Amino acid sequence: MSTISKIKFKEYIESFNFTNLFNDLGWNHLNEQTPIKLNEETYTFHSVAEKSGFRIMVFNPNASQDLPDYATRLQLDRKIGKLFREHLLIFCDKNNTTQIWQLFVKQLGKPSRLSETRWLKGQEPELLYQKTSNLFFTLDEEENITIADVVDVINENFSKNVEQVTKKFYENFRKEHKKFLEFIQGISEITNREWYASLMLNRLMFCYFIQKKGFLDNNLNYLKEKLTYCQQKKGKNKFYVSFYKNFLLALFHQGLGSPDQPEEIKKEIGRIPYLNGGLFDVHELEKQHTTINISDEAFENIFHFFDQYNWHLDTRIAASGKDINPDVIGFIFEKYINDRAQMGAYYTKEDITDYISKNCIIPFLFDETERRYPKAFKSSGTLSEVEVWQMLKESGDTYIYEAIKKGVDLPLPKEIEIGMDTSKPNLIERRKEWNKSAPSEYALPTEIWREVVDRRKRYTEIKEKIEKGEITHINDFITYNLNIRQFTQDIIDSHSDPDFVRHFYEALSNITIIDPTCGSGAFLFAAMNILEPLYESCIQRMENFVEEAPKGKYAKFEEILKYVKAPEHPNLKYFVFKNIILRNLYGVDIMKEAVEIAKLRLFLKLVATVEADYKKPNLGLEPLPDIDFNIRSGNTLIGYATKKEIDDLQGMFVTPKMKEEILEECDLVSRAFQRFKEIQLKGYENKKEFTKAKTELNARLDKLADNLNKTLHKQNYEGSDYSKWLETHQPFHWFAEFYEIINDKDGFDVVIGNPPYVVYVASSATYRLTDYKTISCSNLYAYCIERSFKIMNTKGKFSMIVPNSSISADKLSPLQKLITNNKLTWISNYSWRPSKLFEGADMLLAIIISTSAVKSKINSSMYHKWYNEFRDYLFDNIKYHNTTNHFIEGTIPKFSSYLFTSILEKQKRISKSKTLQSTFLSNATSQRFFYFRAVQYWFKILEKEPVFLEDGEQTRTGEMKPIYSDTQENKYILITVLSSTTFFLHYITWSSCQVVNSRDFDFLFDINSLNKTNRNRLVELGKKLQKDYQKNSHTITRNYSKKGRSFTMEKQHFYIKKSKDIIDEIDTVLAEHYGFTEEELDFIINYDIKYRMGKELENGEEEE
């Protein structure tokens, strides 16, 4: 890639010489005129350069034209986009005094957004150089590469880097952490020693990142060289104790942690910035243990380990397999914490965190904007008067995900098209080709034609709804799974009403987002990723309005922009990230180490936006925000959550006066926190003022927590040792710790996360829980959800990923009521075979999204299965069905098609609501058969026990259970029904999909309503099926050694898919019995066909 100096860049900009500018950058010369007609006026653009299809187009107005305003520029960009998809527009004025560089920025994992940079004659073009440097970076010199290719290469390299680095670095880090522990002296308690080891390693890693960026005395090997320097002094200085005592503590506390660095310290440590942020403050462990020391050998080892990797803050850099950046650190430490905690927590990939975060944060922002400014969303007239929804109506398929649109513009092949008309006979025969793999021009990876047709149908339905103006609420974007991020971005970029932008920005600035079990911050980073482009676009729109209006017309915008552009902020990105971190993000975790890592990652995100400049004060770096009070450590589940819980305190230990004192102290804490936060947001010159504010806040919080802890202990844990109780329960009082949010705002606006999946047994639990409505659910994730709804306000949005049993197990019924009663709820469901959401964990999962509503409504998805190649498209393909009227006690159904509703109604009518289970006998009879409790792709039913010989002796597996019938005829009918795909569909829809429970046999079927012909057919098919199972089975002999005993096992394996034709005959009889249409029967017999008959079962293993 060609480069250009800033001096040369400035010359070209000031002379408006764009042709030579891009020629020097290695672009291809172009000289083309493109006239664009808009509102009866023609705007002529001159293409001056091109690379890989990307055009640079310049607009110079003619004598009668002015520089187009923002709205016109946006319309022109859209028209040009239809001719040249990738382009940069440069608008110039007649007098060559103004340039506006306009580009739709497309970043991986973010919506594309309009970016404008205005340059005025006489200004330094520094900002223009910074912004366009990203564009120059993405365009490779090779002629045959496209921009999309470059993005793919970056993404592929990063993924490769993560896989390689995570495994190697993680394995070694655990060893180094353990070794480092052994060198720490002066802390006897193992948990505190581990905590301090993590703190020190976090500090050192932070220093490794910033030294590679030139922030530590402009020395890229600062720490290692300082260690060598200190060791050389050791022999000459009798007062030298260790690198830790003599250098590191000074670097941390008096250097990086202090703006007032004494001269002798400066001389020792060199020129380094004041960072603040709390990371380099004197830590509570350092205050408690004043004799801490760590030998030099510990640092020799850790620096040697760190030096094996390349440390940088730019996540775009191509991977060598040895690159460590903040994102990699996040992956590594999430794994490290989860492994150490053994808390049932799993690393949550970005597609999950993005899906959850955007579908809570953006709907809240729209709802809050509407509450502040209803005019923008409602009209007494037609839809065309509401700009937000009119834009959507005119958008065509813009907000339908690209994955859904794949191949929809191509005509279907004749052999597929022939199966489209459901009114003609022989539908199943006409659709025989639908189960074959579809070619890549039509299909997403691994799709068969049946899925392609279904996706195309969905595309047509959604596009029709958009064009008819039937989508008029932001929640519809969740229901129809539309591109909610891009829509929001485009609304901000194009809305003509400045009041809409102002109110949206106010909602954005004040939204509070909490992850109550935040770990190392995966969801907090997802939230930041959603908020960042929205902040930047709102700020840009304010600039547009101000620049094109008389001074003072938009006084509020001018005030905000003055604050945004204050000289202490290094750049816009730093300002945005800092505001998000301080104003919007909150987290709590029981593990102190996790909290430290979450804060570290947030700090690195900020530092990554700044380049060291030794000409500027503090090297051009604004002190980092102190987020010790945003990201906190404690037990989410123990402590007072709301004011009502304080009000409800009763008994001899809690007098009215004590309650009043608690509330007064809470108010003082809230004021102290607000002052502390405002000092940081507005910039602080006076370190003493900041330190005083933090000290006061800490003191008040400690006093309040002590008071509440003692009250809680007396109320619920009287008789236990108070000190031990504090250690095991780690109470966290939400009402006090976040008083200004819980009390003043009635709770958080958004609660998101991935809580721990840990069975809770009161008798053996580390801590005892009280006053939970979901206590009978016996799992921590249920309690985390209940606590979430307590700390969330009534207008808030909730979403978490939890085990699928949450919505499909009787025991979880209290939780199901909590998430659905007077709520609007969306539930998407995920299997663990053939692929899984959490690598390395066989978890069946559900993502629950919920918000308050006057009337309950439940939207549920199918039970998603996928191959790994499809993972990138999984969340774009979620499809919801309204299951409100089908929710029964203990289970929320997983509907897989609109057809299932009519199938269910027919089953109810024909069976008269009788179930299959009513036919089973409770007493043993000779008419016995068996079912297997574990179900994956088939419901395995056997007439006789399978061969299961241990050293030649027949035994029975515990996974096999008997069912008894009254007659042989009924036995075979039950065998056929339970073996059918109709029953399998019922099982997947209503069960927990883990093991078979008695409730799963509540299949709508009245055996006495069968006519004689169908009875006889089912009996014969039952016999035929069992013979076929036996014929296709194999007995495999293996030798085992277990607990010192060797034995031989002979086991009969069954391959049920080989009998699919017989099962289809059974379903055909059942379809006739229930009166299903041919389309409904086609849906049933081909349900999950790709996975039930697919490649994952070709490996010779037994089917389950």
Task: Classify 136 as helix, strand or coil.
Answer: helix
Report the candidate in 335, 41, 6 with the shortest Cα–Cα distance to residue 170: 335
Cα–Cα distance for residue pair 5/129, rounded to 1 Å: 10
**Residues of the chain above pLDDT 70, percent:** 91
One DSSP character per residue, 56-94 reads: EEEE---TT-----HHHHHHHHHHHHHH-SSEEEEEE-T
Task: For residue 1084, give the H/E element and its range.
Answer: helix 1078-1085
Task: Classify 392 as helix, strand or coil.
Answer: helix
- In this prediction, residue 227 carries a pLDDT of 94
- In this prediction, residue 597 carries a pLDDT of 87
Measured from the Cβ of residue 503, the count of other Cβ atoms closer than 10 Å reads 20
> What residues have CB less than 8 Å from 1037, skipping those under 6 apart?
1048, 1049, 1050
Cα–Cα distance for residue pair 725/721, rounded to 1 Å: 6
Confidence of residue 278 (pLDDT cuts 50, 70, 90): confident
Q: What is the mean pLDDT of residues 887-910?
A: 96
**Cα 631 → chain centroid:** 18
Task: Classify 412 as helix, strand or coil.
Answer: coil
Residue 523 scores a pLDDT above 50: yes
Cα–Cα distance for residue pair 999/811, rounded to 1 Å: 12
Residue-wise pLDDT for 997-1037, tens only, equals: 999 999 999 999 999 999 999 999 999 999 999 999 999 99
**Cα 131 → chain centroid:** 28
Residue 341 scores a pLDDT above 70: no
Residue 162 scores a pLDDT above 80: no
- In this prediction, residue 540 carries a pLDDT of 93
Residue 734 scores a pLDDT above 70: yes
Residue-wise pLDDT for 1073-1084, tens only, equals: 999 999 999 999
Identity of the amino acid at 230: C
Maximum pairwise Cα distance, the chain: 105
Note if the bond before 834 is cis, omega within 30 degrees: yes
Is beta strand 1045-1053 parallel, antiparallel or unpaired with respect to 948-950?
antiparallel
- Tokens 């009041």 belong to 499
Residue 145 scores a pLDDT above 50: no
- In this prediction, residue 262 carries a pLDDT of 87
For 653-657, 1014-1018, 1095-1099, which range has the lowest pLDDT when averaged over its residues? 1095-1099
- In this prediction, residue 237 carries a pLDDT of 60
Phi and psi torsions of 92, nearest 5°: -120, 155
Cα–Cα distance for residue pair 373/375, rounded to 1 Å: 5
Round to the nearest angstrom and report the end-to-end CA distance of the chain: 55
Measured from the Cβ of residue 587, the count of other Cβ atoms closer than 10 Å reads 27
Most confident of 105-119, 344-358, 776-790: 776-790
Strand partners, 635: 731
- In this prediction, residue 238 carries a pLDDT of 60
- In this prediction, residue 141 carries a pLDDT of 40
Q: What is the mean pLDDT of residues 307-336?
A: 71
With 0.85 as the threshold, say if the pTM is over it.
yes
Which value, to the nearest 10 degrees, does the dihedral of the CA atoms of residues 97, 98, 99, 100 take?
180
User: What are the residue ranges of helices labelled H in 751-812?
Assistant: 780-791, 805-808
Q: What is the mean pLDDT of residues 176-198?
A: 92
For 216-220, 354-358, 457-461, 682-686, which range has the lowest pLDDT when averaged over its residues? 682-686
Cα–Cα distance for residue pair 61/44, rounded to 1 Å: 8
Residue-wise pLDDT for 235-254, tens only, equals: 656 667 899 999 999 999 99
Confidence of residue 53 (pLDDT cuts 50, 70, 90): confident
Cα–Cα distance for residue pair 88/77, rounded to 1 Å: 9
Cα–Cα distance for residue pair 941/344, rounded to 1 Å: 34
Cα–Cα distance for residue pair 278/275, rounded to 1 Å: 9
- In this prediction, residue 63 carries a pLDDT of 87
Residue 327 scores a pLDDT above 80: no
| pLDDT top residue among 132 and 316 | 132
Cα–Cα distance for residue pair 442/611, rounded to 1 Å: 46
Most confident of 88-102, 555-569, 1069-1083: 1069-1083
**Residues of the chain above pLDDT 90, percent:** 66
3-state SS, one letter per residue, for 280-305: CCCCHHHHHCCCCEECHHHHHHHHHH
- In this prediction, residue 835 carries a pLDDT of 95
Cα–Cα distance for residue pair 470/35, rounded to 1 Å: 36
Residue-wise pLDDT for 392-436, tens only, equals: 999 999 999 999 999 999 999 999 999 999 999 999 999 999 999
Task: Classify 829 as helix, strand or coil.
Answer: strand
- In this prediction, residue 723 carries a pLDDT of 93
Cα–Cα distance for residue pair 829/849, rounded to 1 Å: 12
Tally of CA atoms within 13 A in the half-sphere of 896 that contains its CB: 20
Task: Classify 1053 as helix, strand or coil.
Answer: strand
- In this prediction, residue 239 carries a pLDDT of 66
Confidence of residue 861 (pLDDT cuts 50, 70, 90): very high
422, two tokens: 């459901």
Confidence of residue 1071 (pLDDT cuts 50, 70, 90): very high
Confidence of residue 147 (pLDDT cuts 50, 70, 90): very low
309, two tokens: 């990797």
User: What are the residue ranges of helices labelled H in 570-631?
Assistant: 572-579, 592-607
Residue 662 scores a pLDDT above 70: yes
Average pLDDT, the chain: 89
Report the candidate in 535, 582, 548 with the shortest Cα–Cα distance to residue 682: 582
- In this prediction, residue 314 carries a pLDDT of 65
| pLDDT top residue among 646 and 337 | 646
> What residues have CB less than 8 Å from 843, skipping those under 6 apart?
346, 757, 803, 832, 836, 837
DSSP 963: E
Measured from the Cβ of residue 803, the count of other Cβ atoms closer than 10 Å reads 20
Residue 938 scores a pLDDT above 80: yes
- In this prediction, residue 125 carries a pLDDT of 86
- In this prediction, residue 117 carries a pLDDT of 83
Task: For residue 710, give the H/E element and its range.
Answer: helix 687-716
- In this prediction, residue 955 carries a pLDDT of 87
For 416-420, 481-485, 822-826, 932-936, which range has the lowest pLDDT when averaged over its residues? 932-936
Residue-wise pLDDT for 795-826, tens only, equals: 999 999 999 999 999 999 999 999 999 999 99
Phi and psi torsions of 665, nearest 5°: -65, -35
